């Protein structure tokens, strides 16, 4: 019975003629072609998977880079707004400094200059507050300018 399972029966003999040899050769060739096709498909599938994995990693890294660039862009836009506000404030100050009356008033209040025949009576708290306010404005403008240049670095 085990010989029947293995494909051999004691009562069956294989013919040894030209037709049987051609059929066996044909079957073996078909079997080799099937094995070759399987190996080729396995190789093709492996290469395709590797390509998809590589492209997936590239997309992920590009997405991360894009997110980082968006953050840098937002910081740059915020810095640009601060700098443009600072520039507009400084342009206003330059326009005021071109006015001779304003410069004379500023010189008299800050440096105690006076016109001919004019006497200056400084009040201690008032002049210091004005000077401190102007110094604070200047330092704030400098800090905004320095703060935006250090954020870019």
Give CA–CA dist 53/148, Å, rounded.
Answer: 41
Summarize the confidence of residues 102-118 as an average pLDDT: 78
pLDDT (tens digit, 9 = 90+) per residue, 5-55? 555 667 878 788 899 999 999 999 999 999 999 999 999 999 999 999 999
Are residues 96 and 102 in contact, defined by beta-carbon separation less than 8 angstroms?
A: yes
Summarize the confidence of residues 81-90 as an average pLDDT: 92
Percent residues over pLDDT 90 in the chain: 46
Tally of CB atoms within 10 A around 148 = 19
Total-model pTM: 0.47
Q: Is 7 left (phi over 0), alpha (psi -120 to 50) or beta?
A: left
């Amino acid at each position: 019975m085990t010989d029947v399972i293995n494909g051999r029966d004691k009562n069956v003999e294989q013919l040894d003629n030209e037709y049987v040899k051609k059929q066996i050769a044909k079957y073996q060739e078909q079997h080799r072609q099937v094995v070759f096709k399987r190996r080729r498909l396995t190789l093709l599938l492996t290469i395709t998977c590797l390509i998809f994995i590589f492209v997936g990693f590239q997309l992920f890294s590009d997405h991360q880079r894009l997110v980082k660039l968006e953050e840098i862009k937002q910081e740059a836009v915020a810095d640009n707004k601060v700098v443009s506000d600072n520039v507009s404030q400084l342009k206003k100050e330059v326009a005021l400094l071109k006015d001779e009356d304003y410069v004379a008033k500023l010189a008299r209040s800050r440096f105690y200059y006076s016109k001919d025949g004019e006497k200056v009576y400084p009040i201690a708290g008032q002049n210091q507050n004005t000077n401190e306010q102007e110094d604070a404005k200047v330092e704030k403008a400098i800090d905004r300018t320095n703060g935006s240049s250090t954020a870019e670095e």
